[in-house]
Amino acid sequence: MSSEDTERRSRATEAFFGRRKGKALRENQIDLMSTLLPSLRLDLAAPAPAALADLYNREVERLRLEIGFGGGEHLAHRAAEQPSTGFIGVEPFVNSMAKLLAKVDEQGLDNIRVYDDDATQLLDWLPAASIDQIDLLYPDPWPKKKHWKRRFVSQVNLTRFQRVLKPGGLFCFASDIDTYVNWTLMHCRDHGGFQWLAEEPSDWLSPFASWPGTRYEAKARREGRSSAYLTFRRI
């Protein structure tokens, strides 16, 4: 890799998310960050296990990755709903991680592992064809056109998705920002490694099965914005 490529990659991976921490954590959140997080955090300094199911202390049949889980509502809901699925959640924002850890602790969820840094690092660490589904739900839209290059959906990251997804694996995307929805459709079309599964116009306006909603979605609806839900199959 040339020095120019290395610099470009560094700029890109640093730009996918903004600030890392918001308001001060409560005492119980600080405790969970120091006691529970170390037991759930993936160690990328060690090689990934050949079978990702070995990351969990229970038997899992499927592996599902959520990138940018926000407050963790969706991730915790899915983990409770699908105990035989192993979940990996990525979220660099400290306050969001603390909220998920509280849900994991309260509900006794034992099928979640997390990574609290750049998702591209995790994607590069994962074995090929190891993930059944990737969820990218309400990602930062970087709404100003000059910032669109910071959007997580890109040809480079779609190639990462294609590598780690099993053949026939799913990439699910949700957003309330029209330009990002169109951006994702065009990037997946141009990439060639994904098939959009919508069969009729109403499909992309219908939430995913057993959809619990998220706080970002609720905010969008309060502000008069509808959401789109896109499902792509890895070819």
Identity at 187, one-letter amino acid code: H
pLDDT at 163 over 90: yes
Mean pLDDT of 139-166: 96
Q: What is the structure's pLDDT at 216?
A: 83
Grade residue 55 by pLDDT with cuts at 50, 70 and 90. Answer: very high
In this predicted structure, which of 6-15, 67-76, 130-139 has the lowest mean pLDDT? 6-15
Whether the pLDDT of residue 135 is over 60: the answer is yes
Give residues with Cβ within 8 angstroms of 205, minimum separation 6: 226, 227, 228, 229
Give one DSSP letter per residue of 52-119, joined into a string: GGGGSSS--SEEEEEE--TTSHHHHHHHHH-TTEEEEEE---HHHHHHHHHHHHHHT--SEEEE-S-H
Q: What pLDDT, in 10s, does the model give residues 57-70?
A: 999 999 999 999 99
Q: Is the pLDDT of residue 111 over 90?
A: yes
Phi-psi region of 68 (alpha: psi -120 to 50; beta: other; left: phi over 0): left
d(CA 191, CA 102): 38
**pLDDT tens, residue by residue, 14-49:** 444 444 555 788 888 899 999 999 999 999 999 999
Catalytic residue among 140, 176, 190, 203: 140
Query: Which residue, chain included where needed, has tokens 């990702």?
Result: 52
pLDDT digits (tens, 9 = 90+) for 168-212: 999 999 999 999 999 999 999 999 999 999 999 889 999 999 999
- Check if 178 is active-site: no
pLDDT of residue 1: 42
pTM score, whole prediction: 0.90
Single-letter amino acid code for the residue at 134: I
Structural domains for the chain: 58-234 (3.40.50.150)
pLDDT (0 to 100) of residue 20? 56
